[in-house]
Amino acid sequence: MIETKSAPISEDQELMMAFQDIVSSSNQDLIQENANVDGRSPCGQMNKFANESAKFYAKQQMLSEEAKQAVDENYIHIHDLDYMPTGTATCCQIPLGKLLERGFNTGHGHMRSPQTILSAMALAAIIFQSNQNQQHGGQSFQAFDYDLAPFVTRSYKKQLHKLQQYKLPLSKNELEELAWAETDHECYQACEAFIHNLNSLHSRSGGQVPFTSINYGTDTSKEGRMIIKNLLLATQAGLGKGETPIFPIQIFKMKKGINFYKEDPNYDLYQLALKTTAKRLFPNFSFIDAPFNLEYYEEGNPESEVAYMGCRTRIMANRHGKENSVGRGNLSFTSINLVKIALTSQTFEAFIQKLDEYTDVVIRQLYERYIFQTHKLVKDFTFLHGEGVWTGSSELGPEDRLEKVLKQGSLSVGFIGLAECLVALTGKHHGESDEAQNLGEEIVAFLRQKCDQACEQYDLNYSLIATPAEGLSGRFTKRDQKEFGKIKGVTDRDYYTNSFHIPVYYPICAMEKIKREAVYHPYTNAGHITYIEVDGDISKNLKAMDTLVKTMAESGIGYGSVNHPVDRCKNCGYTGMIDNECPSCQITDEKQIDRIRRITGYLVGTMDKWNTAKASEEHDRVRHV
């Protein structure tokens, strides 16, 4: 009997198959590519139809032949390809203070400058929602405490004026103390409402709440400290039934002399942050004193403080303007499959040569996408650029092109699977071998060097990002398994390890993991993160949490977080660690347990929306003792 091979599936046939999977909701990995989108909802399905159609168009009409071939052969992945025809950018650090001070227009009317902290935080949520509809990635506030402090002052003045009208038999000092107490209460209500809004306001045609992050922790003024304190307390309280808030992703900025030591003015807020993280997984922690962050720091200038975004994105260097995060972001990024390059290279020299070639392909592809983005007009982004969110856009008219603005953004080269790549090259990954660790650093240093060279060649802000892979973690792997089979330690799992991380299944102590991953943070100037997994109820051991955070700081980590189980019983509302049975009501029905877990850098309230690769990765995670 003669064996016949079926004809290869054409791209338009693939598109129709994807459509059928959307209609039937039969492909979990397709409809739940993003765990915070309800892919089964009508709006979620409509968006997915649009996503797949836009990807098809972009691939057919907008990619060079070399980029298209590299995608087809599974060497590179172009993130958010579906948004490429729109010309929008990935993310932005929004200048919240500026927008609130002068007011803004969402397209349906002007919002005047708020006169209270309650109004200011309500408008902050609206700013996030308005901006989300014009970008495909996340957005963040770089100095949340500093930006909102003036509106605490406005609330205090109103409270004091109101109390003075009552002619109370109180001294001036007593009246002021009472006014501050009323302002403190108002500030808590504002923070509570802000968190509730960001977990309920839908954007993107109703399919997703805004992907939001806030950075704070260094404002030592009375007003700034009040913002930080009440935000942490409201986060601890949770949502209406005690649920853990998924957004905003909160990032507590650590700085020696401000909140690091016991004698520092905001040390008490750092301790409150530890307590909040132990209960709610947020805030994460960023470290201004890391050498690659400290070089931009100017004492007394909050805009010079490094800010991160959600999963890990970071932007600081700028060839065309101020070197800070405010009003800037990542334009786009494309990731390289390190594993396949290793599997198709006989020697390390051949690997580097091939890596060199595909990095050049990515650099050229990012430039071509950038050129298309710069030809868009201000009027195409009525909020993002029309309202001056991006630095310099307020100086342009509606018919102006965006080159002057976008050249201040970053073009990022990403990578995935360093661990599996090293196993393919040496037989061991960087968590278990010093030789592999040295080789891993050499590979990542090479990629950073290529980005720095691209900066000079194109006079643009090329940078290297430690890719946050969600859908990609399984997509690369499935295709490589079809070509190479299941190779132990390389392609034998459902996912590749994110960026430079030590594999989640490898038992290693927390301090050693921090030490080994810290090596890669200086190279990945577009963003990075290190996670530590701990077991049990960490709220009973805040000293251990403090040790982990301080070790990250002293090891040169730029951005880090501590993962631990956060479960909630829907039957009785108990929040904490739940194994097979709720310790409060003894219910054993798994459907009654919400298991909050971090998927890449953000949280997901229910794991039934995870794709199979990330679900498998979460299952494999071991605790770092």
Exposed, middle or buried: residue 464 (CB in 10 Å: 0-12, 13-18, 19+)? buried
29 or 80, which is more confident?
Answer: 80
| DSSP character string of 516-566 | HHHTTTTT-TTB--EEEE--S-GGG-HHHHHHHHHHHHHHT-SEEEEE--E
Report, as an integer, the average pLDDT of 271-294: 96
pLDDT at 282 over 90: yes
Q: Assess whether the previous peptide bond of 248 is cis (omega < 30° from 0).
A: yes
Q: Express each pLDDT in 342-383 by its tens digit.
A: 999 999 999 999 999 999 999 999 999 999 999 999 999 999
Angle at 121 between CA 120 and CA 127, to 5 degrees: 90
pLDDT of 586 over the 80 cut:
yes
CB atoms within 10 A of CB 564: 22
Q: What is the mean pLDDT of residues 90-104?
A: 96
The secondary element (H helix, E strand) that includes residue 308 is strand 308-309
CA distance 306 to 291: 11
Segments of 409-538 assigned E as strands: 410-416, 461-466, 530-533
Q: Top-level CATH class of 69-89+328-528?
A: alpha beta
Q: Considering only 266-275, 351-360, 606-615, which range has the smallest mean pLDDT? A: 606-615
The domain segmentation of the chain, as residue ranges, is 9-62, 69-89+328-528, 92-309, 566-624
pLDDT at 35 over 60: no
440-496 pLDDT, tens digit per residue, is: 999 999 999 999 999 999 999 999 999 987 667 788 999 999 999 999 999 999 999
Return d(Cα 421, Cα 155) in angstroms, integer. Answer: 56
- Residue 17 makes CB contacts below 8 A (sequence gap 6+) with 9
Q: Is the pLDDT of residue 28 over 70?
A: no
Phi, psi of 460 (to 5 degrees): -135, 165
Residue 5 pLDDT: 42
Residue 390 C-alpha from the chain's centroid: 19
Report how far Cα 216 is from the mean position of its chain's Cα atoms.
15
**What does pTM read for this prediction?**
0.91
Whether residue 26 is predicted with pLDDT greater than 90 in this model: the reply is: no
- pLDDT tier at 609, thresholds 50, 70, 90: low
Judged against a pLDDT cut of 60, whether residue 428 lies above it is answered with yes
Q: Which residues pair with 463 in a beta bridge?
A: 412
List pLDDT tens digits, range 506-525. 999 999 999 999 999 999 99
CA distance 468 to 482: 24
Question: What pLDDT is attached to residue 343?
Answer: 98
pLDDT score at 2: 39
User: Looking at 76-80, 569-573, 596-600, which range is the least confident one?
Assistant: 596-600
Classify domain 92-309 by CATH architecture: Alpha-Beta Barrel (3.20)
Find how far residue 220's CA is from the centre of its chain.
26
Q: What is the pLDDT of residue 305?
A: 98
Report the C-alpha gap between 395 and 391 in whole angstroms.
Answer: 9
Query: 69-89+328-528 with 92-309: one CATH topology?
Result: yes
Burial label for 295, CB within 10 Å (0-12, 13-18, 19+), is exposed
Which is nearest to 423 in space by CA: 353, 512, 507, 339? 339
Tokens of 21: 């999977």
